[in-house]
A and B are shown apart, each in its own frame.
Chain A
């Protein structure tokens, strides 16, 4: 996050007590936000029965340092992570490709019916997965795609959100630049590859991060079309936390922490893109 444009002045200026009290407020709020995560870590590390017997304290009890390793093997996390990774990679790659191509067509190609097509594409934004799920499950079942990579990915290979976002980026390319490229003899493919994509890289990256986030975090769809445990994605795997016997409960809790790690890494290393992607809807409208 960039430094606030609304906050003015030198960070080291101002009365000390004032700064100190802001730090106090910030710290208190941080505790509030982080407390659930902290308790989850405590619970993951503690031996479940001992922890309850000790009256659920704020610190771990009878620590099981190997819990994350056990969650990985025993909870079949390795397989679930790998499956989620494959599914996510396919979805992100496909969404980037289809969105870039259709955004290009809507920005730079002239053909009959372009506007109508654009509105049709955008209309899909009004159709959340929850609405179309029943028929889609039917479709996937009749294709024999239950419990399969195709089934997990097919409905998400294209998205109007990406088309819209990247088109906005493409439309921001100055006309002079397109004209210069035309004089340079760049055809559509050359222009797309050598100019349009490199210039809109921030938009494309932001969209990629959002695509990753939503693909990795999917719950409803895999839940609907997977009925064999070995096709559970990591998110679906988490459902078992309540079903497990109490002695094993911390395995499920540890799994939740592991499941959040890739996105946490994303947040830390690609914060700029993540923030831009998340705010794209709010700021651009």
Chain B
């Protein structure tokens, strides 16, 4: 009821509490700017995405009505969405294995002590300097049906629905080559020299050494690349935008393309649902990455 008089001030606690309050204030101040950005551009849109998926807007985007999960059910089973997933998945198949094999080839060849090897390493890494847009222009020059150097190679023809996606994919393979090369080379260089020397003393020839020693030891880097290249492939947009515009006959309409190809307000809900689908796919790939990384930690320990 009444306050006790003359409480002895416990200096210890006053001090340590003051310190922890100071830490908390500073922590909030330090995290504040990032937290604001993340809230506005990551968490709030996630909520909006769900909200949009549950509503349908009128043609002008001025009114919306609750449609519940039916929009999810309809959109995720629609031919349009499934088509996008199929095309994106095909794109993954075209880009990831080929990109990986070429990257490993470049890295293995460039990982040796030769005079001037750095020049070759820089050349092999050089495609990291090109953005998706730049790579697309470069391949526009190479495979555009009207003006491209390889414009008449039917295997890559951008004017044929059967081959256009391959042409687009090739630009991605080339563009990601630098990154793949850099990461595989770093993996190779992290292998202690003694391991290779021991294998040589054990009588392993170069090929057996490659399959039995090198590949297992760089497998973490390869796994990482599989994930990154897969995510990149699922996000392909600029290539399509610059090289084909989704054509011919929708043959290069990747998932992301379908989500963003100009939609009128009444289709926002659909776009939102598709974006959620993309999110689930990306999440799946990323979680797989974490599983793999975890395994790797156990392996290393």
Contact = CB atoms under 8 A, between A and B. Distances in A.
A273 interface: no
In which size bucket is the chain A interface?
35 or more
A109 B26 contact: yes
B6 interface: no
A265 B186 CA distance: 21
Contact of A9 (B23, B113, B123, B149): B113
Classify the secondary structure of A's interface with B.
Answer: helix
A281 interface: yes
B225 interface: yes
Contact of A12 (B43, B115, B144, B228): B115
Contact of A155 (B30, B41, B125): B41
Nearest to B276: A131
A260 to B, nearest CB: 5
A277 to B, nearest CB: 10
Interface residues of B, number: 106
A33 B106 contact: yes
B137 A238 contact: yes
Given A36-B174, A120-B38, A242-B242, A30 B124 contact: yes
Contacts, number: 306
Contacts of B136: 238
A239 interface: yes
B179 interface: yes
A238 B133 contact: yes
B283 A126 contact: yes
Interface string A181-197: 00000001000000000
B134 A238 contact: yes
A72 interface: no
Interface in B62-92: none
A101 interface: yes
27 contacts: A4-B117, A10-B113, A33-B126, A37-B138, A102-B30, A126-B282, A128-B282, A130-B278, A131-B46, A131-B278, A134-B272, A135-B44, A139-B40, A154-B41, A158-B33, A160-B34, A223-B238, A223-B241, A235-B131, A235-B133, A246-B146, A249-B147, A256-B134, A267-B125, A278-B179, A282-B183, A283-B221
